[in-house]
A and B are shown apart, each in its own frame.
Chain A
Amino acid sequence: MTPPLVPLPVVLPLLGAALTLILAHRPGLQRSVSVVGLTTTLAVAVALLVQAYRHGPVVVQVGGWPAPVGIVLVADQLAALMLVVSSAVTLCVLLYSIGQGRGEIGETAPVSIFHPTYLVLTAGVTNAFLAGDLFNLFVGFEILLAASFVLITLGGTETRIRTGSTYVVVSILSSMIFLAAVGLVYAATGTLNMAQLAGRLDGLPDGVRLSLQLMLLLAFGIKAAVFPVSAWLPDSYPTAPAPVTAVFAGLLTKVGVYAIIRTETLLFPGGEADRLLLVVAGLTMLVGILGAVAQSDMKRLFSFTLVSHIGYMIFGVALSSVAGLSGAIFYVVHHITIQTTLFLVAGLVEERAGSTDLRRLGGLARVAPLLAVLFFVPAMNLAGIPPLSGFLGKLGLLQAGVAAGGVLPGVLVAAGAVTSLLTLYVASRVWNIAFWRAPRLATAEPTVRLPALMTGATTALVALGVALTLAAGPLFQVTADAASDLRARTPYVRAVFPGGVP
């Protein structure tokens, strides 16, 4: 009943960014503006999810221009669910970074730039989720990329510039591919509105449609760090400040996955690329986790598990069944929360022990018991130990794979199981080395208590991960509902064009 809610998740963070930029010299006020902005965004996102679940997709025509001419923002169940999780995670990471800023002053870069950029990043992410228009999706990507460039090179030290330049060039390249694909889609169909495209793309010759699909998948695949184009991620993420790495790991790759889900369901539902996606998904899982096995630094190790588990989501999408898609969406929600938590914990370890290098760590379980608990729960969750949400997500995906039948899905089910076991090996290896063996810390400084806000924010995220387990039943209902809507396509198209597609 209140469609004006839809633009708020984009507008509020942008407004907050402007305000925090003005308030650059008043850190206290700046912090409260950011927190209030993101809290309101979270509340709006929850309201949108309830609305989308009860009454179907909520659509706003920006500026009052009707759909094919103007830009539309669409919050269907998938978009609203992504909004809720992403704003919850960004809020927690913001609180964590505020805690960190208080703990140590000086080293952690100019705070005055951090808040506006962080809010712009949030606006880019929410815009990408809500975009009902291919070009608007591109703009959303660019907003979040531009902000992420600033965040990843924060402070401008030599390492960050080195790794940042790789990240920047790869991101720009993927944007160019995306932009070229957008131009070609327009040339072929004469529209960029996704609801209208859904009909018009079906009418194209097979070859044209397939090449457009592959081009979009390549662009989104780079952003989502899918195997043959994932090598940029483990090198560029770990050097950024802990909260930045955490929010990147949680959200940015998932925006790519979200875009792949949209492309594969709304725009190209025929499943022509399914076999390719299945192969790529399997390779992403195995190559990623084998990379993680070889790592000796916690942050790099988690970057590799991040790449590896993107494979599960692509697997679910490639099955192109309601069950697979539902499992993939559930897995995205689970993985955003868990991966962010693990990077925040790695930040806490660095703060407490002076390093995240496993060769220089040991016995943290005795020195910092709370930290050990905060690591143990999400690590086991990631590995998929029952009854945690990681187990439920993997189980859902593997069941969908078995139900699909055939050789390739069968191989993928086996690869998924092996990846899960290797993840458990990696997680327990970190646990054994960093937390269990004889105490050794990289820093000689006397114990400082970790700032309460940092541990508090991490605890909140761990609790959110556990809550996902407890609420898995209703959540699976929402994702299954979202998946069947996506497969049907009509709810989305009808919401954008109530009077029929022009």
Chain B
Amino acid sequence: MKHARFFIRPLHLRSLHALVAGLCLLGLTEMSLAQDSSGPSYEEIAAGFADPTRWLTYSGDYSGKRHSPLTQITLENVKNLRPEWTFQTGTTTRGRGFETSPLVDNGVLYVTGSNNYAWAIDARSGRRFWQYRRNLPNDLTYGASAPVNRGFGMLGDQLFMATLDAHLLSFDRRSGDLLWDIELADYRQGYSATLAPLIVKDKVIVGISGGEYATRGFIDAFDPETGERLWRFNTIPGPGEPGSETWPDDPDILARGGGGTWMNGSYDPELNLIYWGVGNPNPDYYGDSRPGDNLYSNSLVALDADTGELRWHYQFTPHDLNDWDSNHMPVLADVDWHGEQRSVVMVGNRNGFFYVLDRITGELLLGTPFTATSWARELDDDGRPIVLNDGSEGCVPDPWGSTNFMPPSYYPELGLFYLTARETCATFVPEEPQLVPGQASFGGVIFIDEEPSYGALRALDIETGDLEWEFTYPSPTFGGVMTTASGLVFAGDHEGNFMAFNARTGENLWHYQTGSRIWGAAAVTHMLDGRQYVLIAAGTTLTAFALPE
């Protein structure tokens, strides 16, 4: 009985008593008792932002919009936003970022950090209830070069975390005790896992990192109670399977074709479809050994949540030579599309294009550049890019791409899609790599010209892809975006600023220097004791902001 673990830890009991006492003082006894019993159910996760005190899944809801209905912080008062507390992780990822999106439930933050640290933190004080640190092996492969994590998944009293040695863990959310630990894949081959698990009904869905190595990507579903695997979707088809015709007729090549699935997906409960981005084929830059489109690399796949069966796919970058993984948060919305109601999925892609697809059928509705990319400027009638420059001729977006996995945001009332754009310039020189398990096989080198590069927060009109406004940053940026229904955009940049903008005009309204580049993280917001908090991770700190009382 995993629920019993909660009563073993006296320290945690004390904290919870304090919490309950605090809530009683505020006249919230009933609610606190009700919430004491267990964490969120699937139905509560599916209800998204219905309870303003909670943030229960990576993007706040299944749609990936990262658009909160909270309105206490406004265009007028955001200039008064101030830090309430700062949490120090004590663990660094020099060269990368603190990429987590905290989950929030009943006044407690559940936070994962670099190097597979994790914490439960008091949302009022920033003080921690417990800390977990995984004892990682010394011979990590991909996990050593990207020792990051993007967050927990949560269901009931369980938390789920993916690890750098490619395991999936389940914890008791109250004690931080480990409930089970299963291997996703052999990290020695190059596998790792960094994403926040997605909870769908009675399943825990995860993807895998390691496309820089001779690996084969997949999306897995697990039983949350036992850790038993329920289905697997291989992103690179097996011999004879649909999609294998886009590869050489060689089982060895298919078995190591890459196609990582290292960024979170989104979910449509009505259609019961999971939307997930797939990464680069391997070798990254050398394509001569893998002629063909190399499905389902650099694609968006729509999978049946119960079975993992592929419903449809769309490939953004056929036969990728530039490491432009399509590992982005797919953003789901129901929109007025030129006078017609459509259910769409939107992707700002690493290849420099912004896409809108019908999420029922996979039909392409729009694909247009949002950067100055010289790789391609338009798609043909079949939705394939008309490639002008594959990178060997110079100056296409660098391998980090025109944007990356940092979350974008969609503001339904404005019809605007906000994303962090990176304007960069690189030359790709492919070379045939040796394929050795556990060793990276990029397949070439890149020359990056750092001088003219910059970053920008851009607002795109989703019906046309037109640039509504932009705010430029001095250097290419990895900070993510969140919007709130009060007309605000929150974004972070590579120089460490956490900022608020007018969503309609792009006017900067507030900024706070966090002291470290904001990399991969996007803001999270929730209500607590009648006040709206905004959280951002940067460097080794998590900071909570609110308006003065």
Asked whether A and B interact, the reply is: no
| A→B interface (CB under 8 Å) | none
| B→A interface (CB under 8 Å) | none
